[in-house]
Amino acid sequence: MTDALFLTSEEIDGLATPAEYVEAVRDGYRQVGEGAPAHPRQKFRRADPEGMFTSYAALLPETGAMGGYMYGAGFGAGDAWFVTPLFDAESGEPLALLDGASMNPFKTGAAGAVAVDELARADATTLAVIGSGSQARGQLHTTATVREFEEVRVYSPTRENREAFAEEFDSHLEAAVSAVDSSADAVSGADVVITATKSSEPVFDGDDLEPGTHVTAMGQYAEGSRELDVRTIERATYVPDLRERATYDAGAFLAALEDGAVTEDHVHAELGEVVAGNAPGRTSDDEITVFDSGGTGIETVAAAHMLYERAADRGLGSPISLAPASEALTGRLPETGLESDGDGT
């Protein structure tokens, strides 16, 4: 038997700062850019009751961890559950099992922040956020650690939501944060644009992007769903989290392919290649760049291992025991516990 650490969402909440998530995730992408294995998510759906099971994984040898993420959503409950198993990359032994809900916006936001740091102009000061949910919050918390924004404009269709979002962050950030009445108002003149929505249709007009803008899109990752229009993809240096995703479930890129606006060669590099220095990021101040984020095991494993180490140092979590295959794969039938009544039964 070996003991692993179980961490609840409450124990994870507040265990690391947004900047610490960003640094852990940056290092994970560097390792993948240098050859560590990671693959796009696998999605399994059912119709009645409607629901989805999703999983993805990565192995980060220098971090010393491997594992991933799996979650179930819907199935009549109208909710989702996130589970992250973490293993030692050398021995294969389980290290931890995390209730991953509270880390989700921050580890995903950290991937977006790494992309902003690699692809946005160094002098970017104006940020547009389209969306006002938990993922938009995670993106803003983390992205604010890599650029000194002076102005943040937020738009979502529900006025109360965007105004509450702006009020929350206006008191939290040094930047002036305000709600605006349209996505066009948010995007106009923005140096960085983040989309974090549930919309399956483009949320702004690509012709509204000014030269030099960086866009991070992270709210849609399925064929037939997209936050970015064909014009945005066509104009941009396109960087996905994983190259394989571009033709697998990156809805905006697939739509541009189908339209004939781009070819598969339009994929400039994946994010890890840029972080590792094996491909250039931004090459001019006028260049439009796009990071297409669908979520990977890279940020999951990197963030989970960082949280595991912090929790272990602070004495957080509960031990759970797991049996290795050498002990558990017995092939024996279970004991019934029934006794004979004397007549052979």
Map out the domains of the chain as residue ranges. Answer: 2-104+298-323, 106-294
Torsion of the alpha carbons at 256, 261, 264 and 269, rounded to the nearest 10:
-80
Identify the bridge partners of residue 216 per DSSP, sorted by sequence position. 194, 291
Which 3 state secondary structure label does DSSP give 339? coil
Fold of 2-104+298-323: ornithine cyclodeaminase, domain 1 (3.30.1780)
Retrieve residue 326's tokens.
């050498």
Percent of the chain with pLDDT over 70: 97
- Determine the average pLDDT of the residues in 198-209: 93
pLDDT interval class at 337 (50, 70, 90): low
pLDDT at 295 over 80: yes
pLDDT at 18 over 50: yes
Q: What distance in Å separates the CA atoms of residue 43 and residue 70, rounded to the nearest whole number?
A: 10
The reported pLDDT for the residue numbered 336 is 62
- Determine the average pLDDT of the residues in 161-181: 96
Q: What distance in Å separates the CA atoms of residue 133 and residue 136, rounded to the nearest whole number?
A: 5
- Kindly report the CATH number that applies to the domain delimited by 106-294: 3.40.50.720
SS3 annotation, 288-344? CEEEECCCCHHHHHHHHHHHHHHHHHHCCCEEEEECCHHHHCCCCCCCCCCCCCCCC
Give CA 93 to chain center in angstroms.
25
- Residues 149, 125: contact at Cβ < 8 Å? yes
pLDDT at 210 over 70: yes
Question: pLDDT tens digit string along 241-269?
Answer: 999 999 988 999 999 999 999 999 999 99
Provide the mean pLDDT of the chain: 93
CA angle (66, 72, 77) in 5-degree steps: 155
Q: What distance in Å separates the CA atoms of residue 39 and residue 57, rounded to the nearest whole number?
A: 7
The reported pLDDT for the residue numbered 334 is 73
Give CA 304 to chain center in angstroms.
12
